[in-house]
Amino acid sequence: MLAVLTVTFPFFALVLCGYVATQARVLPLTAIGGLNSFVLFFALPCMLFRFGASTPIGQLLDPVAAAIYLFAGLLLIAGTVAATLRRWGWNDAAFGALVTAFPNSGFMGVPLLVALLGAASAGPVIMTIALDMVVTTSLCIALSRLGLGGGSAGRALRMAFKGVLVNPLPWAIGLGAVASALHWQLPGPVDKTIAMLADAASPVALFTIGAVLARSQINQSEQVAPRHYVPLALVKLVLHPVLIWLACQAALAAGWPLSRPTVIALVLTAALPSASNVSLLAERFDAHGGRVARIILVSTALAFLSFSAAVAWLTGE
């Protein structure tokens, strides 16, 4: 366990640094947008491209792993919406489900799991990012519009797909997959530039997560009782990885091809805290931003111990 904490501590410490810097106003709130843009449009796409290009195409396009991850995510969304719909309505129930089922695999998952498990874990994690951005997010946004009527769900679904098209991450993943399939090498100076941006992705992304969480706390005036967000944070950290693990065991029992490293990568991806970008989506669609932000904050704070425990259990360290 100590060996695991040695690896995970710097990642969560960087998140804490971003949170404290923003709360103390060392980092101006106006600077967070620039950090987020740098990570989203420059550093993270380069990192995903490099990992995708160096990962065998079979790991990026593993249908068994994709089916398992998607099945567990859809089950979690259905259960969360069913449990919270009466109290919160379609809009807030849908975004509560999204923040429960969408791990922070982009900003945190890829660099953390590669540091823990090696470069071979990048393939399954990158695959989950694509599924969450294209399927999970689009579905929950469409569900959030059901209470409005008038074809709002269809319009929201079109908006979600439009958002995917302008998001650089799916394109980076796709280009990385093409480069992997074609064994394509970039020219030396271009490859070096992309490598420098990719190396900046992990520390800046983690710092930005903390800054975004602090900003959501500073700007959020909506109050919500702990009973409305703590259980969902625990569902994200405990139930989600358990569902993935059970689905993997069922697939193995059925004789489906699934390697142990892939199982570990999928379970640990699900054990990550909630994705910080869900709070921005919630604000955009007029959901209860305070509830979503608190789920992200609590899951991130608790994940230092819960995620490390999951790593120790799965790897035997």
Number of domains in the chain: 1
Reference 144, options 283, 25, 293, 305; nearest CA is: 283
Residue 173's nearest CA partner among 281, 88, 51 is: 51
N residues, the chain: 317
In a domain, residue 268? The reply is yes
pLDDT category of residue 163 using cuts at 50, 70 and 90: low
What does the alpha-carbon distance between residue 99 and residue 96 come to, in Å, rounded to a whole number? 5
pLDDT at 73: 95
Mean pLDDT across the stretch 217-240? 84
Whether the pLDDT of residue 182 is over 90: the answer is no
Read off the pLDDT of residues 187-198 as tens digits, 9 standing for 90 and up: 889 999 999 999
State the Rg of the chain over Cα. Answer: 19
- Note whether residue 80 is domain-resident: yes
Handedness of CA 237, 307, 203, 9 (dihedral sign): positive
Nearest to 203 by CA among 4, 11, 6: 11
Percent over 70 (pLDDT), the chain: 93
Give pLDDT tens digits for 272-310.
999 988 887 887 788 887 888 889 989 999 999 999 999
Q: Sorting pLDDT into bands at 50, 70 and 90, what band is 159?
A: low
Q: Report pLDDT for 243.
A: 96
Is residue 222 pLDDT above 80, yes or no? Answer: no
Q: 234 pLDDT exceeds 70?
A: yes
Side-chain half-sphere CA neighbours of 81 within 13 A: 20
Residue 189 lies in a domain: no
Please report whether residue 270 resides in a domain.
Answer: yes
- Whether pLDDT at 221 is above 70: no
Q: What pTM does this model have?
A: 0.86
pLDDT digits (tens, 9 = 90+) for 69-106: 999 999 999 999 999 999 999 989 999 999 999 999 98
Q: CA 307 to CA 312: how far, in whole Å?
A: 9
DSSP state of 145: T
pLDDT of residue 181: 86
Is the pLDDT assigned to residue 109 strictly greater than 70? yes
> Which residue, 245, 236, 277, is CA-closest to 76?
236
User: Which of 257 and 107 is assigned the larger pLDDT?
Assistant: 257
> Is 18 among the domain residues?
yes
Write down the mean pLDDT value for the chain: 88
- Look at residue 205 and tell me if it is in a domain: yes
Q: For residues 99, 103, 106 and 107, what is the CA-based torsion angle, rounded to 10 degrees? A: 80
DSSP label at 183?
A: T
Q: How far apart are CA 143 and CA 145, in angstroms?
A: 5
Residue 56 in any domain: the answer is no
Give the pLDDT of residue 149. Answer: 60
Which range of residues forms the domain containing residue 272? 2-38+62-161+197-315
Q: Which residue has the higher pLDDT, 5 or 102?
A: 102
From CA 244, how far away is CA 70, in angstroms rounded? 9
73 occurs within a structural domain: yes
What's 123's domain CATH number?
1.20.1530.20
Indicate if the pLDDT at residue 162 is higher than 80.
no
Can you give the pLDDT at residue 223? 67
Among the listed residues 43, 16, 10, the one whose alpha carbon sits nearest the alpha carbon of residue 300 = 16
Instruction: Please enumerate in sequence order all residues whose Cβ is within 8 A of that of 74, keeping only pairs 6 or more positions apart, or say none.
Output: 139
Q: What is the pLDDT of residue 282?
A: 83
